[in-house]
Structure 1
């Protein structure tokens, strides 16, 4: 089974679902489920530096993979042109 999870950000500043998805992915990976998280490098409100992570390439973590895309914050929304493409 393969699961793709898409979430605007997994930065600690967002809490809630942004952190829950990490634990859920790790738990699913222990059941031999192929899990990928697609997210952005957003790290808070406008003016905050983005997360320091590699972009547009899979990163292995705790049995699952994360792919980060550049985020272009617009007001309270998170938008990623490279994720859209």
Structure 2
């Protein structure tokens, strides 16, 4: 099974779903699930410097993949046109999409 996890940001500055997904992904991998997390490089709502991460390509971590996309500068609202384009091309490759907010 392939699960796509979509979350606005996984920066440590955020709590809740942003951090929960980092615990859920390795637990799913232990059960034999392929996991990909889509997120943005957002690192706060008050103009903080974006996360220093590679963009638009998979990064392997603890048995799953994370793909970061540039976050548009809308402050509270995390939006990425590149993430949307990636979804249009690849969403059909997954059995489940789990959207966190």
Q: TM-score range by the shorter chain?
A: over 0.9
How far did 1:75 drift?
Answer: 3.5
The higher-RCO structure (CA 8 Å, 6+ apart) is 2
**Counterpart secondary structure, 1:12:** coil
Partner of 2:84: 84
How far apart, in 2, do the equivalents of 1:24 and 1:38 lie?
Answer: 14
Measured on the aligned residues, the alpha-carbon RMSD in Å equals: 0.9
Partner of 1:58: 58
Q: 1:42 to 1:75 in 2, by over 3 A?
A: closer
Q: 1:71 to 1:2 in 2, by over 3 A?
A: same
Partner of 2:93: none
Partner of 1:11: 11
Q: TM-score, normalised by structure 1?
A: 0.95
Partner of 2:34: 34
Structure 1 alignment gaps of length 5 or more: none
Q: How many residues align?
A: 85
1:46–1:73 Cα contact (<8 Å) kept: no
Stretches of 4+ aligned residues off by more than 2 angstroms: none
